[in-house]
Structure 1
């Protein structure tokens, strides 16, 4: 199975200017269904490691303690997950965007992300780099929609160009979320964009791009797959979480992945 993506100088320029790229119907529905099926099993049986909703929002209520927010460390969970994260067809694009050979990071994201109905909470405006620790910002995330993602169930929203902006410390709260109650932030937030995603749609976005997602107000879970890659020369800072987990080079030519 391969990827259906087309890109050239125009797409590279868009990523530089806007901080993200969207590719429609990039991944076959059958592959998405297979990945989603494995994710459902791990969610049903709450196979660790997990992040619960209560950990994210800091509210220790039963509803949130029992709501899974994400499956962590999915690279080690199943061969289907590993095959997707090591997909050869996307590597040339990643190399162009990072301007070096891409390396798969397992310290951050490396997750099945969920928005559960009635018990999920909004994800506030943030940059992923707020809790990543590397020498520079040559990192990006690869987001795969495993089903339909809409405003009703918590689709991603982006602030185009925010990855290139240096904001004042006052623009962020004590948890490094971009404040919507701070007047200078309002013009940026008013420029946000969102796109309804269908199964198989793919979004690549820069680690400094401000993004958010709302709560799930539908009757079904929203399930997505996200992983992160960095440039090979972008080293993690010793002693931080970013340096504690394995990394896997993604050269442009690689032998076939064997089941373990």
Structure 2
């Protein structure tokens, strides 16, 4: 059972998350964790992940991304179930119950067009509910030059879902809105609501930018079928034992299953 470390976050930050839809929490993980996860990302960056076709190297791109590594990689599993990240998520969500959805990493290569367009995360997940967040963990220094994230303040309160490249009539490039962004050091974390609209800028620097993400949900979240949502491939093509209980889910069911395990804490 994980013990909540309340020193990692203040009540003011929790309220800021509820109000603004995103916060930056400094020094969440120490150098031991950072070096461990840097090595884990570097090890997996050119290897197909658990939900990718085996035996086919991943196509190289300006942004390297893989998800669900906790299923096969001990370091990513430890990050989810042994690090302070679960504690941070539980506090921010003000939730009595916490489920882990999945992990992933993003590596932005230097001097490439690696911009990620405006979007929010909820339309990519088979869930419904309000208590949901992503923790974006910096493994390198992050700034404007190497691809930091930018958020539209309080856009989670709009109640709108936005996929990258969708260009709905209600969304206009956010000049009228206040933008939140932070320069970061390794071990700092962004925590954002699944409905907070954000993007990331191109890495024009000469160094790569690595980050690990973990996704968390709380008390009110249930299963909800969404087309073109995670895991992004037909369930019948997935031969992993953790998916057996997930495949039986019906809309409105509790999210608890082997694929979205419950994390115990106090």
Structure 1 and Structure 2 fold alike (TM over 0.5): yes
- Find 2:260's aligned residue among 234, 247, 256: 247
Structure 1 residue aligned with 2:64? 69
Native 8 Å contact 1:180 1:186 kept in 2: no
- The structure that is helix-richer by fraction is 1
Deviation sequence 1:4-61 (CA, Å, 0-9, x none): 9433432221111111121112211221112111211222xx2103999xxxxxxxxx
Equivalence for 1:17: 19
TM-score, normalised by the number of residues in structure 2 = 0.75
Q: Is 1:78 matched up with 2:73?
A: yes
Which of these residues, 135, 143, 156, is aligned with residue 149 of structure 2? 156
Q: 1:104 to 1:181 in 2, by over 3 A?
A: closer
- CA 1:6 to 1:120, structure 2 compared with 1: closer, same or farther past 3 Å? same
Is 1:219 paired with 2:214?
Answer: no
Shift of 1:177: 5.2
After TM superposition, the structure 1 stretch with the greater mean CA deviation from structure 2, 76-85 or 232-241, is: 232-241
Q: Supply the distance in 2 between the matched residues of 1:30 and 1:179 (Cα, whole angstroms).
A: 46
Unaligned runs of 5+ in 2: 53-57, 231-245, 248-257
Give RMSD over aligned pairs: 3.1
Matched, 1:40 2:29: no
Residue by residue, what CA displacement relative to the aligned partner does 1:166-200 show, whole Å, maximum 9, x if unpaired?
Answer: 46x9xx688435789837x4312xx1121111011
Separation of aligned partners in 2, 1:135 and 1:66: 33
What is residue 196 of structure 1 aligned with on the other side?
Answer: 183
Displacement of 1:65 in angstroms is 4.6
Equivalent runs, 1:1-260 vs 2, <5 Å = 5-43=7-45, 46-49=46-49, 65-67=59-61, 69-87=64-82, 89-98=84-93, 99-106=95-102, 110-166=103-159, 175-176=165-166, 182=172, 185-188=174-177, 191-238=178-225, 241-242=229-230, 246-253=259-266
Say whether the 8 Å CA contact 1:148–1:196 is kept in structure 2.
yes
Change (3 A) 1:180 1:148: farther
Please say if residues 126 and 177 of structure 1, whose CA atoms lie closer than 8 Å, have aligned partners that are also in contact.
no
Question: In 2 relative to 1, CA 239–208 (structure 1 residues): closer, same or farther, beyond 3 Å?
Answer: closer
Deviation at residue 76 of structure 1 after TM alignment: 2.2
Indicate how the Cα distance of structure 1 residues 155 and 87 shifts in structure 2: closer, same or farther if over 3 A, else same. same
Aligned residues: 230
Deviations 1:217-238 (A, max 9, x none): 1112111000101114412224
Contact between 1:159 and 1:211, CA under 8 Å: does it hold in 2? yes
Contact kept? 1:69, 1:120, Cα under 8 Å: no
TM-score, length-scaled by structure 1 = 0.76
CA distance change for structure 1 residues 9 and 34 in 2, over 3 Å: closer, same or farther? closer
Q: How much does 1:136 deviate?
A: 1.6
Residue-by-residue CA offset, 1:75-132 (whole Å, 9 max, x unaligned): 12421211111136444442343323110002xxx21111111334211111111222
